[in-house]
Structure 1
Amino acid sequence: MKQFPDLHNWFDISEYYEHNQCRTITLLWKKDLKEDDIQRFVVEFAKLICRVRCNGELVLKDNGEDLCYKFQQVIDNKIELEKEEKEYLAQSIFFDGMISQSKYNKTKNYIESLDREAFNGYFGEVLFYIVREQCLEDEKIIIEPSCPKTYSKQPGLDYVEIRKSDYDYYFIIGEVKTTDDTIDDYPDRILDSLIERPVHLIHQTINAFKERTKYSAPEDLKNFINRMPIYFMNKNPTKHKRFAGVINYGRNSPPQKTVFKNFCTKCATHLYDSSECRKIKLIGIKGMKDIKERVLEVIWTNL
């Protein structure tokens, strides 16, 4: 995603395997990472956040420099920004989903007003989009939202993705969770969230797909999108609809055998009985809380 380096630099990545009748992939933080390796991940992640939030480029004046590129150079300790450039980036690009408005109203200080709880979810969603781009099987067609929401708590589905396998389209409704510690009860929370999703949310996403494919998309894809409500509501589950759970957790060890043990039974009336319809991604990062804090530090000490 947005030219992020190969995740194999930092993670031991499994092939897909069967786990409690789910199609599962694990990414585990390498045990022998050096401090320089970890700092490189932190810096690259901070630069990615900049590219995502600026949508690749940010020009403030006619014939002006690309502020997105300049800030990445700042992160690499190559240049410094002007005061007005720092203020614009802080207020317009990095405030949303990282700074608590109520805290900032009192302190007028960005670093003292960091909203770590909001950033927790955002960090996990950005990481998933990297994993999606680099590691996941089948042909990627379209995802909504097209990039991570700047504020992970805003209403809506975490993501809905259309993919293609053996010439057939299918869509995935996914939920992303991030925890600094063990996986704990997050699988059950994901399951409840997927099963209880209101119908209007999927229709909002389908309309977004229609808008993005209105003028340039194959007819068979447009037809599939038009039939998504049928697949979503069908009382006879179909392979066209699938669920996915993503958990980013604060360990670099394999998940316990009990993880997602209820996925198959809880989703029996919602999904076709195939492990391919129950997709799990488990991303273990030892010291995740510290990693997130360092990403925030890299961004905000340069603004």
Structure 2
Amino acid sequence: MKAVVYEKYGPPNVLNLIEVKKPVPVGNEILVKVSATTVTSGDTRLRSSNFPPLAWLIIRLMFGLFKPKKKILGHEFSGIVEAIGKDVIKYKVGDEVIGTTTMLPTGSYTEYICIPENRKKGVLAFKPKAINFNEAAALPVGGMTALFLLQKAKLTKDQSVLIYGASGSVGSYAVQIAKAYGATVTAVCSSSNFDMVKLLGADAVVDYQIRDYYKMDQRFDIVFDAVGKTSKSKASNILIKDGRFTSVKSLTIPRHQHMNKVCELVEEGKLKPFINKTFPLSDIVEAHKYVDKGRKRGNVVIEIIKQ
């Protein structure tokens, strides 16, 4: 089978498409024929080892000090169950699934992947029928992160929420989830993305290139930093008393209940992944180059099986 591997940290061209041995499911594992995966910011950071100085050594010790321990990137996927281990209970051959590769020895930049039916970290779920495989592949990481952080900020109906970086992957989900909960949403992004975030449900928009959001007169119940590029000190200027700031820079621990809720919102028509660009697996280097520019909207999908 084909898979994208990297033997050293660096720019996108360290990624190579090669032939590797197809895995065989054992025990409680399912073998998934991968339909699509994505290029997340986590993938590009791990590939380049581009982390803040204080975190660099810790992350290198976890993922490989001199070269990557996990040679296949890819944090999320959609696909079809092709085979199952003898102890699998929940899934059967032919089931359509989505999931994350958290704490697995391999990522999802591959044609096939073995996933344990149950594990402490990482999720696996049935694919929502309301979306296609490309859209489904982009759902787990961004969708669960947005939901986890909004719930952590105690999102409730009729609150006012400002989302900084609303046109990115996490931000695009946060806009829709906040609206699904009955909040009023102000989206901060560039003017070129105004139409996009309005389509997702934003009630008001602010161009960060023209106006500093933290100098606004309006006050908010929640300020959500969806790109890790603002701070609690700035957000505090526009938060109500007891208002809450949340950011993708904080620790997130999404669990199966978050994945189930995200899928529920999709089936209800309240949440839909926004796909910016789609690349074939053979163009993985170009896909990483595109994401490295820092201007992607929503999600970038790697299509392994043509939809």
Output the TM-score relative to the length of structure 2: 0.25
Using CA pairs under 8 Å that are at least 6 residues apart, name the structure with larger relative contact order, 1 or 2.
1
**Larger radius of gyration between Structure 1 and Structure 2:** 1
Output the TM-score relative to the length of structure 1: 0.26
